[in-house]
Amino acid sequence: STVNGTPGSATLAVDGIDPFDVVAFIAPLIGDPSVPNRLYAVTSRVYQTNDGAQNWVVISPDLTASLASLRAIAVAPSDSNVVYTGSRDSRIFRTSTANLGANATWAEISSGTDLPGRVITAMAVSPANPNTAFVTFSGFTFGSDMKGHVFKTTDSGATWTDISGTGPGGG
């Protein structure tokens, strides 16, 4: 493979990422589909680069509880300012000011909802509407937890609907 023009070589691209942040074993890393060279990496905080991973800037406070990490992140294809992220402790956050970099503001959008108390595994945003997002949760429906695994919001996270269906493990 070729990285930075030299066959078989690679360069670490972690300048600006705090090595002491809590991080998932396989930390999510995504690109912004609308902004070339803009990437996002998550630990317990969200990092953004606008120069293809040469320099990273933290754009969120610690969004997790003790010893948790962010496990998923998604950028709205129709509005690069809108980014969703979700944590191991089942919390979901959203910003509509990602363009402000270090000055971006985040709001928890899972508080007071009836989402499962399980690990978030993936997120996606509608290609046409930045207010419509999807989130998936791990785990099994068991005991008092009979909630599904796939949830959708159409109002920026004010409400969530279980769209898991009735398949195996569905809610």
Between 105-109, 139-143, 164-168, the lowest mean confidence (pLDDT) is in 164-168
Between 13-17, 29-33, 81-85, the lowest mean confidence (pLDDT) is in 13-17
Cβ-contact 47, 40 below 8 angstroms: yes
Question: Residue 149: which of 131, 169, 133, 132 has the closest Cα?
Answer: 169
Question: Residue 120: which of 82, 63, 77 has the closest Cα?
Answer: 63
Instruction: Return the pLDDT at 20.
Output: 82
Handedness of CA 11, 43, 69, 148 (dihedral sign): negative
Q: How many H helices and E strands in the chain?
A: 0, 14
Instruction: Return the pLDDT at 162.
Output: 92
pLDDT-based confidence at 127, cuts 50/70/90?
Answer: very high
> Looking at per-residue confidence, does 86 or 14 come out higher?
86
Instruction: Return the pLDDT at 170.
Output: 45
